[in-house]
C-alpha cells in the first residue's frame, strides 16, 4: 500500500476531543424542535438516579479497548480511482477490531477495491464527539475526496446531547467537509443501535437506544430524499457475533457487515458521478460541424 501522507501527518492530532465554545448552527433552516423534547426531559428526570448509577458501573467495569495498529492511509485495488475518507469516533478508528484492516475503512477498501483503485484515509480517534471531530477536520490539510463516511454520535448520545443539537452539529460538519474536502457523496452513518450494546444493563440500554433512535430520526428528517448527503442505518438487531469483547464496539465481523451494507451505495454514487462527468466532458468537447 502507498501512504498518501497528507492525512497521515494529521491523524494523531485527533487524540484530543475538546469541546468548542462556538454555537453549532445556532439557526439551522428546516429544523424544528421535536414534540418529544418534554417527554425526554420527563423520562430522564424520572430515571436519572438509576441511569446514573448504572452508567458509573459500566464505566468502572467495562475495559477500554485501544485503537488497533495499522496503516491509516494507503492505496489498494485496480480500476478507476476513488478517494475515500473515513472520519469520526471509535467506530471510524476500528476500535474492537484486531487491526485497522479489519475495521470500517479496511472492510470498505476490501469491498470497493474489486472495482476501483481506492486511495483511502482515516481521520478518527477513540472518544471523539461531534465538536471534537469538527476540530480534527479543521486542522487536517484540505484535500479532495470523492466519498466521505462519517461515524459519529455515540459519545454525543452518552453525553445526552439533544437530537436537535446533534442534527445541527452534523449540518455544521457537512458544511466544513464540503468546503475542505469537496466530496461528491457524504454518508452519515447512524448512531449505533445502543439498545443492542450488551455491556449496558437495563433500563440504561433501553434508554440509550431510545435516545440514539431519536437522534437518527431527527437527522434523517433534515436530509433530502435524494442528494449528495445520505444516512446509512445500522441493522435493527444484532447478536454477540458482531460485537467485540467489551459488548459495545463492533468486532471484525460487525465491521464487515457494516461495510457490506455501505459499499453498494458508494459504488452506485461513484458510478453516477463518473457518468455525469463523462457526459459533461462530451458536451464540452462537442464541436459544430459547420461554422458560419
Question: pLDDT tens-digit profile of 230-247?
Answer: 999 986 555 667 889 888
The answer on pLDDT for 6 being more than 80 is: no
Q: How far out from the chain centre does Cα 44 lie?
A: 27
pTM of the entire predicted model: 0.80
DSSP-assigned beta bridge partners for residue 83: 119
* pLDDT at res. 237: 54
* pLDDT at res. 165: 96
What is the Cα–Cα distance from 248 to 69, expressed in whole angstroms? 19
* pLDDT at res. 24: 35
For residues 162-185, one letter each, b for 16 or more C-beta atoms within 10 angstroms of the residue's C-beta and e for the rest, the string is bbbbbbbbbbbbbeebeebbebbb
Q: How far out from the chain centre does Cα 127 lie?
A: 13
Helices within the chain (DSSP H only):
8-11, 37-61, 104-112, 130-139, 154-158, 163-180, 204-220, 252-285
Average pLDDT over residues 90-110: 97
The answer on pLDDT for 23 being more than 60 is: no
What percentage of the chain has pLDDT greater than the value 90?
58
- Residue 158: give the domain boundaries: 63-279
The answer on pLDDT for 11 being more than 50 is: no
The answer on pLDDT for 35 being more than 90 is: no
Average pLDDT over residues 90-112: 97
Instruction: Please check whether residue 116 lies inside any domain of the structure.
Output: yes
If one compares 144 and 25, the residue with the highest pLDDT of the two is: 144
How many domains in the chain?
1
What is the Cα–Cα distance from 20 to 95, expressed in whole angstroms? 25
Q: How far out from the chain centre does Cα 176 lie?
A: 14
Average pLDDT over residues 55-73: 90
Please give the span between the terminal C-alpha atoms of the chain, in angstroms, as a whole number. 55
Question: How many other CB atoms are found less than 10 A from the CB of residue 272?
Answer: 12
Which value, in Å, is the radius of gyration of the alpha carbons in the chain?
20
Cell of 251: 468486532
What is the Cα–Cα distance from 54 to 40, expressed in whole angstroms? 18
The answer on pLDDT for 225 being more than 90 is: no
Inter-residue contact 139 to 10 (CB < 8 Å): yes
Instruction: Please check whether residue 34 lies inside any domain of the structure.
Output: no
* pLDDT at res. 51: 82
* pLDDT at res. 154: 95
Grade residue 274 by pLDDT with cuts at 50, 70 and 90. Answer: low
Instruction: Please check whether residue 56 lies inside any domain of the structure.
Output: no
Instruction: Please check whether residue 48 lies inside any domain of the structure.
Output: no
Instruction: Please check whether residue 153 lies inside any domain of the structure.
Output: yes
Q: How far out from the chain centre does Cα 258 lie?
A: 11
Instruction: Please check whether residue 46 lies inside any domain of the structure.
Output: no
Instruction: Please check whether residue 39 lies inside any domain of the structure.
Output: no
Cell of 166: 446533534
Inter-residue contact 108 to 266 (CB < 8 Å): yes
Collapsing DSSP to helix, strand or coil, 236 comes out as coil
CATH number at residue 141: 3.40.50.1110
* pLDDT at res. 2: 39
Amino acid at each position: 500500500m502507498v501512504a498518501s501522507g497528507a492525512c497521515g501527518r494529521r491523524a494523531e492530532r485527533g487524540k484530543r476531543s475538546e469541546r468548542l465554545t462556538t454555537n453549532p448552527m445556532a439557526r439551522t433552516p428546516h429544523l424544528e424542535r421535536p414534540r418529544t423534547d418534554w417527554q425526554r426531559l420527563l423520562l430522564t428526570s424520572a430515571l436519572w438516579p438509576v441511569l446514573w448509577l448504572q452508567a458509573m458501573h459500566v464505566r468502572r467495569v467495562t475495559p477500554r479497548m485501544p485503537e488497533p495498529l495499522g496503516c491509516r492511509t494507503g492505496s489498494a485495488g485496480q480500476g478507476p480511482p476513488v478517494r475515500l475518507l473515513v472520519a469520526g469516533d471509535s467506530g471510524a478508528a476500528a476500535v474492537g477490531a484486531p487491526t485497522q484492516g479489519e475495521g470500517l475503512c479496511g472492510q470498505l477498501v476490501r469491498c470497493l477495491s474489486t472495482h476501483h483503485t481506492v486511495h483511502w484515509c482515516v481521520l478518527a480517534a477513540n472518544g471523539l464527539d461531534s465538536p471534537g471531530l469538527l476540530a480534527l477536520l479543521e486542522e487536517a490539510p484540505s484535500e479532495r475526496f470523492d466519498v466521505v463516511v462519517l461515524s459519529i454520535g455515540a459519545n454525543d448520545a452518552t453525553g445526552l446531547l439533544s437530537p436537535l443539537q446533534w442534527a445541527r452539529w452534523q449540518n455544521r460538519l457537512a458544511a466544513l467537509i464540503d468546503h475542505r474536502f469537496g466530496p461528491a457523496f457524504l454518508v452519515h452513518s447512524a448512531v449505533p443501535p445502543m439498545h443492542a450494546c450488551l455491556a449496558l444493563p437495563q433500563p440504561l440500554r433501553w434508554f440509550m437506544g431510545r435516545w440514539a433512535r431519536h437522534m437518527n430520526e431527527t437527522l434523517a428528517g433534515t436530509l433530502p430524499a435524494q442528494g449528495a448527503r445520505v444516512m446509512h442505518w445500522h441493522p435493527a438487531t444484532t447478536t454477540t457475533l458482531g460485537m467485540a469483547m467489551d459488548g459495545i464496539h463492533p468486532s471484525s465481523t460487525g465491521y464487515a457487515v457494516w461495510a457490506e451494507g455501505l459499499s453498494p451505495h458508494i459504488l452506485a454514487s461513484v458510478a453516477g458521478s463518473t457518468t455525469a462527468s463523462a457526459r459533461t466532458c462530451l458536451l464540452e468537447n462537442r464541436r459544430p460541424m459547420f461554422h458560419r
